[in-house]
Amino acid sequence: MHLGWNGIRAGALALALAVPLAGPALAVERVERGNIVTEGVPELDKALAERLRAYLNVRSAGVVDWTADGKGLLITTRFGETAQLHRVDQPLGDRRQLTFLEEPITGAVASPKDADSVVYSWDVGGNEQWQFFGLDLKTGKSTLLTDGKSRNSGMLFSTKGDRLAFSSTRRNGTDTDVYATGLTDVATAKPLVAEKGSWSPIAWSQDDSKLLVLNYISANRSHLHVVDVATGQRTPLNPGKDTVSYSGVGFTPDGKGVFLLSDEAGEFKRLGLLDLASGQTRWFTADIPWDVEAAALTRDARTLAFVINEAGYSRLQLLDTTALTPLPAPNLPKGVIGGLAFSPDGKRLAISLSQPSAPADAWVYDLGARSLTQWTRSETGGLDPAGFADATLVQYPSFDKDNGKPRMIPAFVYRPRQAPKAGKLPVVVSIHGGPEAQSRPGFSSLAQFWANELGVAVILPNVRGSDGYGKTYLALDNGFKREDSVKDIGALIDWIGKQPDLDGGRVAVAGGSYGGYMTLASMTHYNDRLAGGASSVGISNFITFLESTSAYRRDLRRVEYGDERDPAMREHLQKISPLTNAARITKPMLIIQGANDPRVPLGESEQIVAAIRKNGGDVWYVLAKDEGHGFKKKSNQFYGNMAQALFFRKILGLSSAS
């Protein structure tokens, strides 16, 4: 089988980018192969391509929900092109596929009263205009529930299972309202909460008379409200506290209190119980200097599971909500937990667990027997898991001080299992998106491929502005402090140069979304110290980004990056934008983009490609016509990841035998 990029060529002559160039630039041939368009990318290395296919065949399993009778565990996993909904009925039992779509499933929830009823969501081509579908597990038939055009999310069945709460932009395309209605009325229901901003349902009370609702403003600001479902009357739970982050968990069994997560009482997000009558909160994790990142209640609200994020690793805890005392929790392998889901009777807890050297799988903890059982064992593409790289947590000093001492930046390092004893490893620095996100020590097929097949050390830094290290750290890159996070990459380059096994002269930088911006910005600041950069769906100009990103998220991004309508901020954003400073980039670049991206639109990538080429720079470009904010389809991931591998091999001087 021919594995080259050459497919259907767009023409015999070289084609220019869609963005017109302001000056002369080298003509670059544009090649189309199905939904993939490439420019400047060389022919594939067949041997490396086959190795990449093995890593892309590594599966994972994400816990979604239990069926109403507790007999089936719903998961998402990928056997074909995209992740689909599956059912597992026993430990290591068959994974029975329930949906068969060309697009990935983005969410699902099981009806609490009908074991054969599920509601799931998906979008088209990554446009994030998610639609809900009702699935009858007996017949396999799916029925569209939403209007087919608005953006819908946050599916939440009522306790009785007769109503569905959700969020939608259908009112004006900008604000995200909350709805609560029967399944047959999802497309036509009137909003329960119709306000400016982003609102979402969190939990129903036991009697379904009240709904806990979140108004999200930014990573540092959010508000919880209790809404009377019959009247729509809304009661704020944290009035006057405008610089606090809140997220809800659910109501107490009697409906008189609300379990929540908040940094109200300190640097970190704590688990608390708010008494609705007095407004007072009792905090349960005040002695833990880490965030509680997730929590879930049993259907009767008598048991609560919560996850502590300890320097990126997850620790599971259980709480008896009646006695307010801890319950025995399982001793899990060290990794990252996701997908908490209690069985309908509250006796079992399902989780997804990803480890640095093992893909995510579903595990079930029996609370009564205190036993932990693995329910899925995901295949690793024929690769030996013993050869996967492990993650090492390090800290390196940055340019400024914290309490009189150098500020330390955490990072995870993946080194090849078979690292050479002599010589130094080239480095790929991979920066997470968000910006309020966090690199975690979970499994990454791409990091494993880079480490073990290219022979590089992969470093995942959590620069200032990353989540998980307290609210002060989270806000250190806001507004006019944006480039302080870029300086953290400069400090990392310094640190790499001092390590005995790392080659400070062969360092590449990569990242997606905000990480894509960080890649571009790092190249404008540290071009002479980097071999090159690979930016995926990255922001190249904050002004054009804020003016063209989808309307529903524009104000959310202004809180984080700054409001471009303010003259002083506009001047600052223009000054620091990579597009403004593109002339500083003289090293090779790879740009990857999804044509349907609603977050960082296509123009952000095309304008930086045009600018670099105008300056005579070397830039490769990969565009997927059927993707949005990142590549979700396996075939597209192959071409995007292959381009990165060839790019790193070139700029880092790696041999084909690496």
Q: In what order do the strands lie in the sheet with 164-168?
A: 152-157, 164-168, 177-181
Single-letter amino acid, residue 618: D
pLDDT band at 292 (very low <50, low <70, confident <90, very high): very high
pLDDT band at 25 (very low <50, low <70, confident <90, very high): low
| pLDDT for 6 beyond 60 | no
Q: CA of 103: how far to CAs of 78, 122, 126, 130, 455, in Å?
A: 11, 7, 8, 11, 33
What pLDDT shows up at residue 12?
28
What pLDDT shows up at residue 5?
35
| H-state helical runs in 43-88 | 46-56
130-175 pLDDT, tens digit each: 999 999 999 999 999 999 999 999 999 999 999 999 999 999 999 9
Three-state SS sequence of 358-374: EEEEEEEEECCCCEEEE
| pLDDT for 4 beyond 80 | no
315-352 pLDDT, tens digit each: 999 999 999 999 999 999 999 999 999 999 999 999 99
| pLDDT for 393 beyond 70 | yes
249-274 pLDDT, tens digit each: 999 999 999 999 999 999 999 999 99
| pLDDT for 47 beyond 70 | yes
Q: Tokens representing 414? A: 């993946």
Q: Average pLDDT in the 79-108 region?
A: 96
> Which DSSP helix (H) or strand (E) runs through 489?
helix 482-497
**Any idea what DSSP says for residue 639?**
H
What pLDDT shows up at residue 657?
55
Q: Average pLDDT in the 50-55 region?
A: 96
Residue-by-residue DSSP string for 243-311 = T--EEEEEE-TTSSEEEEEESTTSSS-EEEEEETTT--EEES-TT--SEEEEEEE-TTSSEEEEEEEET
What pLDDT shows up at residue 17?
38
Asked if the peptide bond before residue 397 counts as cis, ω within 30 degrees of 0, the response is no
| pLDDT for 301 beyond 60 | yes
> Which DSSP helix (H) or strand (E) runs through 535?
strand 532-536
What pLDDT shows up at residue 7?
35
Q: Directed axis angle between helix 634-651 and helix 46-56, to 10°?
A: 130
Strands 502-512 and 425-431: parallel
Q: Average pLDDT in the 77-89 region?
A: 96
Specify the range with the lowest mean pLDDT, choosing from 15-29, 39-53, 435-449. 15-29
What pLDDT shows up at residue 8?
28
How distant is the alpha carbon of residue 190 from its chain centre? 31
| pLDDT for 656 beyond 80 | no
Q: Average pLDDT in the 454-476 region?
A: 96
pLDDT band at 505 (very low <50, low <70, confident <90, very high): very high
532-543 pLDDT, tens digit each: 999 999 999 999
607-620 pLDDT, tens digit each: 999 999 999 999 99
Average pLDDT, the chain: 93
Q: What is this structure's pTM?
A: 0.92
Domains, in order of start, for the chain: 8-56+383-651 (3.40.50.1820), 145-255 (2.120.10.30)
Q: In what order do the strands lie in the sheet with 358-366?
A: 336-342, 348-355, 358-366, 371-374
